[in-house]
Amino acid sequence: MPHLQIRDLEHETIAVLRSRAAAEYLTMSQFLRRELRRLAGTATAAQLLAKADDRRQRLDGGVDRAAFTAVLEEP
């Protein structure tokens, strides 16, 4: 299996990740592997917009791209 190395990660970030892994009784490798798989399986904003555009075309209207984008940009 390939390896992944992340450089220049802040100490605070590492501490938070280590704490979260420990809270779930996981090693850092186990925790990060799971989180990276979850991240990789999550649709990007561009993919969601493309899906919404496709649906709008099929439904002859529906989701307005500008309104959808505005919702994604809300805090």
pLDDT tens figures, 34-64? 999 999 999 888 888 888 888 777 777 666 7
Tokens standing for 3?
A: 């390896």
User: Would residue 68 count as lying in a domain?
Assistant: yes
Q: Is 47 found in the same domain as 20?
A: no
Q: Is 64 found in the same domain as 49?
A: yes
More confident residue, 53 or 26: 26
More confident residue, 26 or 64: 26
CA separation for the pair 30, 26 (Å, rounded): 6
Which residue range forms the structural domain that includes residue 68? 43-75
Using a cut of 0.85, tell me whether the model's pTM lies above it. no
| Residues 18/26, Cβ–Cβ less than 8 Å | no
- How many independent structural domains does the chain possess? 2
C-alpha dihedral sign at 28, 29, 31, 37: positive
